[in-house]
Structure 1
Amino acid sequence: MSWDVVPAALPDVTVVRGTVATSPLLTEDDVDALVLPVAPATDEDEGVQPRSGTTDAAVRLGVDLPDLADRARLTGAAGEAHVVHLPRPIAGSADLPWAGLPPRVVLVGIGDGTTTDLRRAGAAVARVTRRLRRVVCTVGSDSGPSGTAALVEGYLLGAYRQPVRRKDAGEPAADELVLLGRYAEAAVGTATRSARATWVARALSATPSSVKDPQWVADQARLLAAALGLDVEVLGVEELTRRGFGGVLAVGGGSAREPRLVVVRWTPEQPVSSGVPPRHVVVVGKGITYDTGGLSIKPREAMVPMKTDMTGAAVALATVLGAAEARVPHRVTAVLPLAENAVGAASYRPGDVVTVFGGTTVEIANTDAEGRVVLADALAYADAELDPDVLVDVATLTGAATLGLGKQNAALYSPDDALARALADAGAAAGEPLWRMPLVEDYRTAIRSDVADVRHVPADSTTGGGSITAALFLQRFVGARRWAHLDIAGPARSSSATHEVPEGATGFGARALLRWLGELR
């Protein structure tokens, strides 16, 4: 496959009004499956409970579907799925009750029907209907806009396939998912935009570093932005040097693949009429296209997933693209500091003092803490030259964040209570949980330096709180701006596929940021 364009096209999702009992849609030749919801038993003596369309389907098919579910030992838990292949009659025999109807029925558990449950149910539908043509679904048809959005989002996220270079590229999703019933059509578009942003972030992050270098990412940014008419600026080594981006240049200096800084801008064409005051939001994303650790080299095992160390930049780019597609009323700018942290004759060293954008000097203690060095450049630049109302950075920054929060929650830092609350609420609604962490004042002494303005990691390795001290370091470069830092080191990568989360690059953060932008006032 080609690595030149990301991502692949999303499957089609359409809404058709009607019911399973009477819809002529089910008799069309290209409908390969009917997907129906079941919920957990409400009493120990009962089996799984039919939900929207399941009872009508049982009558129309002439099949006791709850009995089939019980025989398959379904519990109705969210994301559970079972495929029933309806037998075809032999030649010359009488027609069976389901003649002319889809040859498969898929029973999908919806749990309690929460948005999380429906997102998982949608992912299960994608998983069990691969390689089919049209699939008709009634799951969540009575769940309102939020339920519709969660179902579609889960389906599209579950349909994603990581980019590979092999003959067997994996099974594609069904050609089309048809939602039959009272679905909120506007929510389908919202969910599709959100899922597309995650696909972009995943595909960029999962691309091997043999292909992906700073210039490649810059080229992808130009390509994707051009499709939406966005302005893109790319700074090469000469301009980075002239303008004083010492952090990006230091980190990228040891690689034969030169660093870049990319700026992508979405500006609404006309003033909004909704009464929402327009803001300028700048999203900065860490863009280390591969991280060896530099001279403070990583162990071999720790290097394997480091093609995803630019997930922050991928999420920032996906966010500005999604904002443009959704036509949010706010200006949104993505800043992507891009570098490969390699080992070479020109590598920066522990003990060096680096001057970042704006003149702050930084004592380097560990070249494997390179993310905060490139972010210092980008944040200082955003504060000095872009004049944001809100400044957010996203980064696979510290292993310490995963020690405290595991692999499913990102660490959220902000001195602004309202901003932190809004981001956390958006993350919860989007299925990307953000856990607020403290900016502990007493820990600032850990990053004091005797030879520079600031030390980028604590002098004493026993200090602890590595995610906190990293956030405190970044805070020095945001001025008086409203600011939040998202450390996504844990949830940006997954060791196995679970529900809507694939193995490998997850694209975590794009949906949360887009939801927050949509609600920003």
Structure 2
Amino acid sequence: MQTDIDKFMVDQLEISLENKLDAEELFKDKKSLAEAIFFARDIINEPANIKTPQTYSEKILEYLEPLGIEVTIIGEREMKNLGMGALLGVGQGSQNESKLVVMKYDGADDKASPIAFVGKGVTFDTGGISLKPSANMGEMKYDMAGSAAVVGSLIALARRKAVVNVVGVVGLVENMPSGNAQRPGDIVTTMSKKTVEVLDTDAEGRLVLADAICYVQEKFRPRCVIDLATLTGAIVIALGKTYAGCFANNDELANQLIAAGNKVNEKLWRMPLHKDFSEMIKSDVADIANINTQAKGANSSTAAHFIEHFVKEDVAWAHLDIAGVAYSKTVSSISSKGAVGYGVSLLNQFIKDYYEEQ
């Protein structure tokens, strides 16, 4: 019996092209990008009992090393020796050891200073002692979407053999409540030697980024630093599911990222940094607090200012808060429910347009 759909089945399709080689190269480029996005989506969608910092770091090593990317996995003992008290404090309540994964892609022959991508990789976020409400907590398996964007972008660049040097650093932790968990009011010392008063253990992503950003600057002296994180609920209130928030200390870098995002439909909206917001994270007992201590509001901006404290003065930096765009509860024309893989196309286009040697 022939159904309606059988009437429209195609046995063979022929496409005529003026330049077959150009089309094949374009398809190859698009295919490599798609595979990178699919990697990001798949790892974000993994449940947290499977996606621990250990298994996630092993997956990165397994996938990236064959692409010619140098992967280094740093464990808790070495991080302690490096002074990463902020990152380690977030993960100390978990039985799963925290990891810092460093991915080095050298696509340019001149060994120029790399572009640095840094990602928040909280494989599950309960909020710690500052426990989140139980409703929708299962979605917190997505709290490592920033790290997935970093890993995915490295995959895309390596697969198309981009002529550029890029280093990616992701801090992988699990934020859990336990008898050994970090407490509100604890003070931690970061790799930069600055101290942080942890007033809310659910404001943990910025602590992970603080040490990861410090590490990439000390180790690689990058030309610029771009971090990505599902950082604040406030950015969702401000921008919904349409834009990610872009905070930057450099107008040129911000404009480049926004332009690249517009090309690939991963939109960014420039958000404000201001000395008034920086004042809001002052602490009476440490260099800074990890949340706003003085007034209500501006929570995305105060979070960005927290991260900025760990960026060297001469380094161009942008922080992309992707909390509203990292996953979708509905089916779209190009993605099912769940992880979107936001950031992979954006970073790939950014490199292609502004930093890749021709």
Please indicate the TM-score interval, normalised by the length of the shorter structure: over 0.9
Give the distance between the partners of 1:385 and 1:505, measured in 2 at CA.
31
Give the distance between the partners of 2:15 and 2:317, measured in 1 at CA.
40
- The answer for the alignment partner of 1:325 in structure 2 is 159
- The answer for the alignment partner of 1:465 in structure 2 is 298
Whether the 8 Å CA contact 1:427–1:433 is kept in 2: the answer is yes
Instruction: Supply the AA of the counterpart residue of 1:197.
Output: A
Whether the 8 Å CA contact 1:285–1:394 is kept in 2: the answer is yes
- The answer for the alignment partner of 1:254 in structure 2 is 93
The residue correspondences of 1:425-444 to structure 2 (distance < 5 A) are 425-444=259-278
Whether the 8 Å CA contact 1:84–1:104 is kept in 2: the answer is no
Whether the 8 Å CA contact 2:113–2:221 is kept in 1: the answer is no
- The answer for the alignment partner of 2:82 in structure 1 is 243
Question: Partner of 1:439: helix, strand, or coil?
Answer: coil
Q: Which moved more, 1:320-329 or 1:238-247?
A: 320-329
- The answer for the alignment partner of 2:227 in structure 1 is 393
TM-score, scaled relative to structure 1 = 0.65
Give the distance between the partners of 1:343 and 1:510, measured in 2 at CA.
32
1:85 and 2:31 aligned = no
Q: Which moved more, 1:199-208 or 1:320-329?
A: 320-329
Q: 1:367 aligns with which of 201, 205, 209?
A: 201
Deviation per CA, 1:485-506: give whole Å up to 9, x if none: 1100001010111111321111
Instruction: Supply the AA of the counterpart residue of 1:435.
Output: W
- The answer for the alignment partner of 2:251 in structure 1 is 417
The residue correspondences of 1:114-133 to structure 2 (distance < 5 A) are none
Instruction: Supply the AA of the counterpart residue of 1:446.
Output: M
- The answer for the alignment partner of 2:333 in structure 1 is 499
TM-score, scaled relative to structure 2 = 0.93
Whether the 8 Å CA contact 2:192–2:310 is kept in 1: the answer is no
Give the distance between the partners of 2:24 and 2:164, measured in 1 at CA.
24
Whether the 8 Å CA contact 1:376–1:477 is kept in 2: the answer is yes
Instruction: Supply the AA of the counterpart residue of 1:473.
Output: F
Give the distance between the partners of 1:349 and 1:446, measured in 2 at CA.
21
Q: Which moved more, 1:234-243 or 1:396-405?
A: 234-243
Give the distance between the partners of 1:515 and 1:266, measured in 2 at CA.
16
1:286 and 2:120 aligned = yes
Give the distance between the partners of 1:438 and 1:214, measured in 2 at CA.
33
Deviation per CA, 1:52-91: give whole Å up to 9, x if none: xxxxxxxxxxxxxxxxxxxxxxxxxxxxxxx96365xxxx
- The answer for the alignment partner of 1:337 in structure 2 is 171
* Unpaired stretches in structure 1, ≥5 consecutive residues: 1-82, 88-102, 106-133, 137-177, 273-277
Give the distance between the partners of 2:345 and 2:15, measured in 1 at CA.
22
Whether the 8 Å CA contact 2:108–2:164 is kept in 1: the answer is no
- The answer for the alignment partner of 1:39 in structure 2 is none
Deviation per CA, 1:214-254: give whole Å up to 9, x if none: 01111011101121122111111111111111112100000
Q: 1:190 aligns with which of 9, 12, 29?
A: 29
Distance 1:483 1:269, change over 3 A: closer
Deviation per CA, 1:415-446: give whole Å up to 9, x if none: 21111111111111111111111112211110
Whether the 8 Å CA contact 1:364–1:456 is kept in 2: the answer is yes
- The answer for the alignment partner of 1:447 in structure 2 is 281
Question: Partner of 1:422: helix, strand, or coil?
Answer: helix
Structure whose alpha-carbon radius of gyration is higher: 1
Give the distance between the partners of 2:12 and 2:228, measured in 1 at CA.
37
Distance 1:364 1:270, change over 3 A: same
Whether the 8 Å CA contact 2:41–2:340 is kept in 1: the answer is yes
- The answer for the alignment partner of 1:299 in structure 2 is 133
- The answer for the alignment partner of 2:310 in structure 1 is 477
- The answer for the alignment partner of 2:184 in structure 1 is 350
Deviation per CA, 1:449-495: give whole Å up to 9, x if none: 111011111114x5211111111110111112111111000010101
Whether the 8 Å CA contact 2:281–2:290 is kept in 1: the answer is yes
Whether the 8 Å CA contact 1:218–1:260 is kept in 2: the answer is yes
Aligned residues: 349
Counting aligned pairs with the same residue, the percent is 37
The residue correspondences of 1:63-212 to structure 2 (distance < 5 A) are 85=5, 87=7, 103-104=8-9, 136=13, 181=17, 184-212=23-51
User: What value does the CA root-mean-square deviation take over the aligned residues?
Assistant: 1.8
Structure 1 segments of 4+ aligned residues over 6 angstroms from their partners = none
The residue correspondences of 1:215-226 to structure 2 (distance < 5 A) are 215-226=54-65
Give the distance between the partners of 1:486 and 1:355, measured in 2 at CA.
25
Whether the 8 Å CA contact 1:383–1:477 is kept in 2: the answer is no
Distance 1:417 1:179, change over 3 A: farther
